[in-house]
Structures are given as C-alpha cells and as structure tokens.
Amino acid sequence: MSTSLLTPAQYLGENIRLTGQAVVLMVFSIIFFLNSVALLAVGFVYWRKRSLRQVSTAEDIGTSALKLPLEVMNLLRPAMGRNANWHVDKDMTTLSVTTASDELKRLRKLVCEDMNSEPLWSEMGAIPKIDLVDNSVLINRFSIHREILQERLLMDPMIFKRKDWTQLPNFDLRDRCSAAFIAFVTSFPWNKTDDSVPLIPVAFGTSKSKAENIVRNGFTAETSLYDGNFGAGMYFTTSVLASLGFCLKEEEPCALLCVAAPGNPFPAIEGPQEKLSQRGKPIKSGYQSTFALANQAGLPYRPVADAVQRPIAQLVIAQENQIVPFAILHLDKTVVKQLYSKHILNE
C-alpha cells in the first residue's frame, strides 16, 4: 500500500487554502453580527421614538407650530393635560375639535372676521366636524422656504421684489388690487409693517379624501398647476365661503384652512381674452405669487359692472412650500350649497 505524501509546496498551499476559507467564514460572521446589531439598534430607536411620541406632553405636541403665527400656534398647542386628545401618527398630529372647546372659539375668532365665514359658523349643522392638523414636516418645509424667500427679497429686491406693474396699463385697477392685498395682510396683527414675506390665512375647497391626503403629504399629492384665468398655479381664496364653490360637487365637501407665504404678489386684473392676460401663464418673473380680485364667474372684478357683488380675492402660487394646511372643515353638502347660493351667488 502506497502512501501519498504532500510536498512542502503542496502542504503550504493547502494551509493557505484552509486559512483563506476560515478568514472568509470569519468575515461573513462579523458582517452578519454587525447587521444584526444595526437592525436591533434601528428597531430600538424606532420603538423609543414611538414611545416618546405617545407619552409626549402638550409642550411637545405642536412645537413645529411655533413657526406659524401666534393665533395659529395657539390652536395647535393644546393646554397642558389635553394632549391625550391628539392623535399621533408619525410626523403629524390631529385633533378633532368639539363645539364647546377653546380651540373652536379661537379658530372661529381667527377666520370669521377677515375670512368671510361667519355664516358657516352661525348656520346649524354647516360644519359637522373640524380637524386641526400639525404636520411638522410640511411646517418645517414651509418655514425654511419662507426664510430663504425673506433673504432673497432683502438681498436682491431688483430680482425678486419687482414693482414694474406700476408701469402697466390700467394702473387704477391694478393699484386697487394691490391695496386690497395690503389691507388683508395688515388686518392680521402678526404681520409687521416691514415684513417682506407676510403670512396670511387662505382657504381651499376640495373633497374629504383629497383634504386628508393633502394634510399628510402636501398639496402636490392631490393638486396640479391649474391653468386658470390669473395664471398657472394652485388657487386659494381669502374667503372661506368663496372656497365652497370648488367643493360643492363633492360627496363629502371640505374646506382646508391654510397659512400662505405669498411673498411679492403680482396684481392681475386682465380677463382671459385681454391683451396682457395671465391665463395659463407661469407666475411673472420677479414675483412669487399672483393676487387678483374676481367676480362670481371667476373673471376680473370691475367696480362698476360688478358693483352689486363683493369681490372674491384669489391667490395663485406655484410652489408647494409656500402653503401649509392647519385645519380641515368637514362640511354638510346641503347646508353649504344653500349658504353659497345666498352669500356668494346672491340668489
């Protein structure tokens, strides 16, 4: 019987092969161990974050609202001991407001006087439910965008804060439109006279499903740039009653209450067939939004021809981060149809 002996070279090669296999096995073991530790760490952080969110105090809930006007902030930061009423879901908290709550009183005070919504509050059953919304992601994006815009308007006013509309035809009508915007801005005490990017409340009529998606994911989740009479963009109004015209066909109509940072608005006064019409056009260069006064038909308001009507202020913006929702008004379809016909259509 013969025995095969390994030569020194073969013996060395075999040892290297076995050692290499051992090293590879050890490396895979270390990688597996590190991945396991990482997964456990991620799981712990997620669990800890959820736990902290669930037991957070009223001071924690709504802290992102500190970047909004005081009156809105007070809505989104409930009194100590009331935090259990808020529903926490990731970066968003919501609170269903009851008719006897302090939050409802503050909300009514905020929007009734300057946003033409008193009939909604006075009519029994018009607003069966209200949800306050604090989405920290959307509010933070809104705040950052506003800060950037403030800096641009301060550093480069010739580029971002143009006033060349004063050289366009029909100055009186355009000046009237601009004055209406300034009057609305200054009606809210949180806006300073020298604030380059004031904050104003606006309304947006839509359906329940779209409203709930918007407050969670932002306006581009459910809306696109509408080629309206005053330019391409997302259309808002300073009148809650007027916003009903955009949701009366919905089975579950809602009005979103939002805070907008319009920046430097261009006053639009031309109809779709007029020479300088903005219809379907982007926001003019040097401006961050478009502001217009419209009649019931959505055409430019004319003081003589439309004297019996109340002008409806419309704000057109193209940047999602210029707008953030803070409340959903769930509406009764039958009741709000009657209110819209009476107070907007004058029927």
Kindly report the number of other CB atoms within 10 A of residue 30's CB atom. Answer: 10
| 215 within some domain | yes
| 107 within some domain | no
| 82 within some domain | no
Domain end among 16, 32, 55: 55
Does residue 338 sit in the same domain as residue 247?
yes
Domain extent at residue 191: 133-343
Does residue 141 sit in the same domain as residue 278?
yes
Does residue 162 sit in the same domain as residue 49?
no
| Token pair for 98 | 């009851």
Q: How far apart are CA 35 and CA 31, in angstroms?
A: 6
Q: Which of 125, 136, 263, 110 is nearest to 188 (CA)?
A: 110
Judged on CB neighbours under 10 Å (0-12, 13-18, 19+), 101 is: middle
252: number of CA atoms within 13 Å, CB side? 11
| Token pair for 215 | 């407050």
| 34 within some domain | yes
| Token pair for 5 | 């002996």
| 240 within some domain | yes
Does residue 187 sit in the same domain as residue 41?
no
DSSP string for 106-148: HHHHHHHTTTT-HHHHHSTTS--EEEEEEEHHHHHHHHHHHHH
| 99 within some domain | no
Does residue 18 sit in the same domain as residue 164?
no
Which pLDDT tens digits describe the chain residue by residue (347 residues)?
444 565 766 655 666 666 666 666 776 677 777 777 767 766 655 554 444 343 333 344 444 555 677 777 766 665 334 445 667 666 667 778 766 677 777 788 777 767 878 888 888 788 888 888 888 889 889 999 999 999 999 999 999 999 999 999 999 999 999 999 999 999 888 887 777 889 999 999 999 999 999 999 998 866 667 788 999 999 999 999 999 988 988 999 999 999 999 999 999 999 888 888 899 899 999 999 999 999 888 888 887 666 657 888 999 998 999 999 999 999 999 998 999 888 888 75
Q: Find the CATH number of the domain harbouring 149.
A: 3.90.228
Q: How far apart are CA 309 and CA 206, in angstroms?
A: 24
Write a three-state SS string for 311-339. CEEEEEECCHHHEEEEEEEECCHHHHHHH
Does residue 138 sit in the same domain as residue 268?
yes
> Would you give the DSSP letter of residue 300?
B
Does residue 155 sit in the same domain as residue 296?
yes
Judged on CB neighbours under 10 Å (0-12, 13-18, 19+), 270 is: buried
Write a three-state SS string for 57-93. CCCCCCHHHHHCCHHHHHHHCCCCCCHHHCEEECCEE
> Who's near 89: CB < 8 A, 6+ residues apart?
none
Q: ∠ CA 325-56-132 to the nearest 5 degrees?
A: 20
Are the C-beta atoms of 289 and 322 separated by less than 8 Å? yes
Does residue 305 sit in the same domain as residue 177?
yes
| 28 within some domain | yes
Length of the chain in terms of residues written: 347
Taking the whole predicted model, whether its pTM rises above 0.85 is answered as no
| Token pair for 315 | 């704000």
Are the C-beta atoms of 76 and 83 separated by less than 8 Å? no
> Who's near 210: CB < 8 A, 6+ residues apart?
222, 223, 254
Chain centre distance of CA 88: 18
Does residue 36 sit in the same domain as residue 148?
no
Does residue 33 sit in the same domain as residue 143?
no
Does residue 19 sit in the same domain as residue 144?
no
Does residue 339 sit in the same domain as residue 193?
yes
| 75 within some domain | no
How many structural domains does the chain have?
2
